[in-house]
Amino acid sequence: MAEPENNHSVEAILATFKGEQGYLLPILHKVQHVFGYVDKNSVEKIADHVGMSSSQVYGVMTFYADFRTEAPGKNVVSVCDGPACYARGMERVKRVVEHRLGIKGGETTVDGVFTMDLLPCNGTCEHAPMLRVNDVTYRRVKASEVTKILAEWK
Amino acid sequence: MKDFDAIKSSAENLWQKFTGPEARTRILVGMGTCGIAAGADKTFDAIKAELNRHKIDAGLVRTGCIGFCSVEPLVEVVSPNGQSVTYGRVTADKVATLVSDVLVGGNPNHELAVWKSTSDNPKLGNIPDMAQVPFFKPQKRELLRRCGIIDPENIDHAIANGAYSAFAKAFSSMKPEEVIEEVKKSNLKGRGGAYYPTGMKWEQCRAARGYPKYIVCNADEGVPGAFVDRAFLEGDPHAVIEGMLIAAFAVGSDSGYIYIRAEYPLGASRFATALAQARERGLLGKNILGSDFSFDIEIRRGAGSYVCGESSAQMSSIEGQRGMPRLKRPRSVERGLWGKPTSLNNVETFANVPLIIANGAAWYLSIGTGASNGTKIFSVSGNITYTGVVEVPFGATLRTVIEGACGGVPDGGTLKAIQPDGSLGTVILPTLLDTPICLDIFRKSGAKVGSGALVVFDDNTCVVDLMRFCLRFAVTESCGRCTVCRVGSQRLLDIANRMAAGQGMETDFQDIDAIASVMFELSHCGLGQGASDPMTSTIKLFREEYEAHVKEGRCPAKICPDLIEYKVVESKCTSCGDCESACPAAAIVNEDKPKIVDADCIRCGACKEVCPDGAISIENAARVATKAGVLAGSKH
């Protein structure tokens, strides 16, 4: 996820969008999709393209929870933060994730192996409590299973 | 409307080939996000492989979610003779048996069968009819009629089943004013949660001066626990496109946006496919159906901000700005997106429009009760037996939805509370279960029908801890523009945190009231105005539970981590050591009998989950009770 695709550059992405502020979010999405995050250099290039200042772009970008300003860890552990997951014991599951990784939502471990994200409810509440590591979904997770799940991704 | 008649008859021919007497066996796999999370993609691949292996020629199709999430992955097999049985919980490992029983052997698999859609075959035995399955029995599936039935990525499936016919009717035989009049007569109200009359909004937008005018579809569905709109995006996107087209025709707009939240990548991709197919058929884009009417829709994706579900914030977000709500004068029908007249409606609202135009306002008014007409879709989740998406007419009761369709609270638990509008909604008691779902009646009971997220909590829920959850959401999602919301929600969270730690004070209750009323009065948008609703409503309903935390430092539900202790019940313990190996915090020492070191315990309950003898108990922590007692008494 964090690996940049070689055949893409920020310039190449920008060339596919009109230089209007209305395209700022689609541009940010695309840059993050390709590079895993939006770094300072990209912010400047994007700002030039849409005719805003870097600080304005940065202001917009940091308003939205989904845009990363730093590279995520090797594995992203996403803990669903919705009410159905809450009702079915997610707080206890979350405590194990936090304890084992030594981080809270939005943080990355010092060794760069794990980033922990709090996931907004995506409505797959049948599977609550739901945990995701990268693209793998773990359904109806119990607190006693978390240690093993994390060990799979070291 | 010659053009559309040709499109429709060609679609019907294709549908006839797909479903008619000469059709091959067809296999439909429910592949919404929920089904895929349950493994439907692997099921799909496995079916494909088995069909190849047995050299069976069958039509294999992906559909959206039919709403019955709990029994997914769902596979419907329809034989050429029209016999249809739907199988549930068909994970990939069960596919070989299913294919050999049903497709090779020609017999239904009774073990996996959930319902049938045809009768008069003795082989089908006691497999119930779809309409008799408790989950579907109370439903009136008008809006969701195509979800789970058609391939959402095949526009012919949609058209053959009625899509765009209402638009064609409006476009060829009605004036824009007549369309608006019909929608006004139908009493359709915005399903996003505000329930503003849709026809009035369109009329105001049509009357407003300015060009261009915009139609915006709000598919941000950020209310936690809501997954109603997703059913359309993934299962029947053309219903939404058709609603937007009719709106554009009525309002006089040639440009539309749909704002789809980041969490719905599959919905966005299916919607994009649907847009492309509609353009290809001349139903969208320049000179629609050869006329001088043009309208096109662009997709914009959210980026993880709840407040962007608010209309003015959403327009700012589309413009590439921070998604912050503004004051409502001027209203967006006059000055909305890029300062132009804009009509913004929710996904479910748009999906209602084709039904109204096709069947007439009188038909629509015949469904529902009193001031609330039509049907309402609920996504039911939490401590519930069957999670899913349920469509009932207004006037049905919550009991019908929660107990009738969704099977009530599982595992012998008791229903404690319902939060009908997600994490920022008012909490209500089970005593309202028999109240008809109707805007007026709900309002009188101090509740809201809201966007349709019904979250169910059992008696294993602590309301104070639940408030910490709800308020964390409010704090995270406050855009920060209004001080009272930014600071107020944080102050409420601070109070909830203190209460949960056994350090609440009697004066907190007055403070909560004061903060809540300031937030209500002075916040620009619904987030700030309503952020205190969960807390003020639960204080009314569960006062004694709050007081147990505040006065005694006791959590009656034994949830709040600072007020409980995990203990080993020595009389039951067999020293098997399972708890010790399961403990992620190494908080259990095993000498003669295991002992939980309280200072190291993180209250995750892993030990209790694995203990085969039920020898782990949760006790109220005595030490905190004293501390809280002192604190509560010492203030003022």
The percent of residues above 70 in pLDDT, for chain A, comes to: 95
Taking every pair of Cα atoms in chain B, the longest distance, rounded to a whole number of angstroms, is: 87
For chain B positions 41-100, those within 8 Å of chain A (CB to CB) are 69-70, 72
Radius of gyration of chain A measured on its C-alpha atoms: 18
Residues 6 or more apart whose Cβ sits within 8 Å of residue B259: B216, B217, B218, B219, B220, B300, B301, B302, B308, B314, B317, B318
Q: What is the per-residue pLDDT for B443?
A: 85
Give the mean pLDDT of B426-437.
93
Chain A interface includes B321 (CB < 8 A)? yes
* Surface of B (6-45) touching A: CB under 8 A: 33-34, 37-38
Provide the whole-model pTM: 0.95
- Give the mutation candidate from B259, B317, B321, B347 for the A interface (greatest A CB count, under 10 A): B321
Q: Is the Cβ of A12 closer than 8 Å to some Cβ of chain B? A: no
Q: Per this entry, what is the length of chain A?
A: 154
Is the per-residue pLDDT at A144 higher than 60? yes
Contact B186, B228 (CB under 8 A): no
Q: Which of residues 402-431 of B touch A (CB under 8 A)?
A: 419, 422-423
Contact assessment for residue B382 and residue A83, using Cβ atoms and an 8 Å cutoff: yes
Angstroms from A7 CA to nearest CA on chain B: 23
Residue B134: the pLDDT is: 96
- Is pLDDT of B610 > 60? yes
What's chain B's average pLDDT?
Answer: 94
Question: What is the mean predicted confidence (pLDDT) over B514-532?
Answer: 95
Q: Is the pLDDT of residue B158 over 60?
A: yes
Chain A residues whose beta carbon lies within 8 Å of the beta carbon of residue B321 = 21, 60
Q: What is the mean pLDDT of residues A99-118?
A: 96
Interface residue B387 vs chain A (CB under 8 A): yes
B457/B110 Cα distance (integer angstroms):
33
**Cβ–Cβ contact B604 with A under 8 A:** yes
The confidence band for B120, taking pLDDT boundaries of 50, 70 and 90, is low
- Residue in B264, B306, B381 to test binding to A, most A beta-carbons within 10 Å: B381
The string of pLDDT tens digits covering residues B280-317 is 999 999 999 999 999 999 999 999 999 999 999 999 99
Residue B441 has pLDDT above 60, yes or no: yes
What pLDDT, in 10s, does the model give residues B452-477? 999 999 999 999 999 999 999 999 99
* Model pLDDT, residue A24: 97
Confidence at B119, pLDDT banded by 50, 70, 90: low
Which band of pLDDT confidence, cut at 50, 70 and 90, is reported for residue B434? very high
User: What is the per-residue pLDDT for B75?
Assistant: 97
Tell if the CB–CB gap between A137 and B262 is shorter than 8 Å. Answer: no
Residue B356 makes CB contacts below 8 A (sequence gap 6+) with: B166, B182, B183, B186, B188, B364
pLDDT of B2 = 57
Residue written as tokens 């040709």?
B6
Distance from CA of A68 to the nearest CA of B (A): 11
- Rounded Cα distance between B140 and B129, Å, is 15
pLDDT for res B474: 96
B133 has a pLDDT exceeding 80: yes
pLDDT for B623: 55
- Mean of pLDDT values over A73-88: 96
Q: For chain A, say whether B603 makes contact (Cβ under 8 Å).
A: yes
d(CA B8, CA B11): 5
Burial of A6 (0-12, 13-18, 19+ CB in 10 A): exposed
Q: List, as one string, the DSSP characters of B223-258.
A: STT--HHHHHHHH-HHHHHHHHHHHHHHHT-SEEEE
Which chain A residues are closer than 8 Å to B414 by Cβ? none
Q: Roughly what angle, to the nearest 10 degrees, separates helices B176-186 and B237-251? A: 120
Mean pLDDT, residues A62-78 taken together: 95
Asked if pLDDT for residue B629 goes beyond 50, the answer is no
**Nearest alpha-carbon partner for B236 in B116, B355, B318, B364:** B355
Where does residue A118 fall: left (phi above 0), alpha (psi -120 to 50 degrees), or beta otherwise?
A: beta
Show the CA angle centred on residue A90, arms to residues A89 and A92, nearest 5°.
Answer: 75
Average pLDDT, integer, range B237-262: 98
Confidence bin at B325 (pLDDT 50/70/90): very high
Question: What burial letters (b/e) apply to B319-331, b meaning 16+ CB within 10 Å?
Answer: bbbbbbbbeeeeb
Q: How far apart are CA B3 and CA B579, in angstroms?
A: 71
Examine the pLDDT at B484 and tell me if it is beyond 50.
Answer: yes
| Structure token digits, residue B273 | 């496919």
Q: Is B225–A95 a contact, with Cβ atoms under 8 angstroms apart?
A: no
Instruction: Report, as an integer, the average pLDDT of B97-111.
Output: 93
pLDDT tens, position by position, B378-389: 999 999 999 999
Q: Is the pLDDT of residue B614 over 90?
A: yes
CB contact under 8 A, A20 and B320: yes
pLDDT at A25: 97
What kind and span of H or E run contains A75? Answer: strand A75-80
pLDDT of residue A141 exceeding 60, the answer is: yes
Q: Tell me the per-residue pLDDT of B534-554, one tens digit each, with 9 for 90 and over.
A: 999 999 999 999 999 999 999
* Mean pLDDT across B89-96: 97
* Among B379, B382, B584, beta carbon nearest to A147: B584
Mean pLDDT of B199-227: 96
The two tokens of residue B479 are 């855009």
- Report the pLDDT value the prediction gives residue B1, as an integer from 0 to 100: 54
User: Looking at the predicted structure, is the pLDDT value of residue B599 above 90?
Assistant: yes
Rounded average pLDDT over A46-75: 96
User: Do residue A81 and residue B224 have CB atoms under 8 angstroms apart?
Assistant: yes
Chain B nearest-CA residue for A85: B382
* B82 Cα distance to chain centroid: 32
B506 touches A: beta carbon within 8 Å = no
Which residue type is seen at B540? K
Q: At residue B116, does pLDDT exceed 50? A: yes
Residue type, B174: M
- The answer to whether the CB atoms of A123 and B419 lie below 8 A apart is no
Any chain A CB within 8 A of the CB of B382?
yes
CA distance B516 to B330: 27
For position A18, what pLDDT does the model report?
92
Determine contact: A8 vs chain B, CB below 8 A: no
For residue B177, with 0-12 CB atoms within 10 Å meaning exposed, 13-18 middle and 19 or more buried, which class applies? exposed
pLDDT for the residue B626: 46
> Band of the pLDDT at B632, cuts 50, 70, 90?
very low
Predicted ipTM? 0.94
Q: How far is B257 from chain A (nearest CA, A)?
A: 12
Sheet of A136-138: strand order equals A114-119, A75-80, A131-133, A136-138
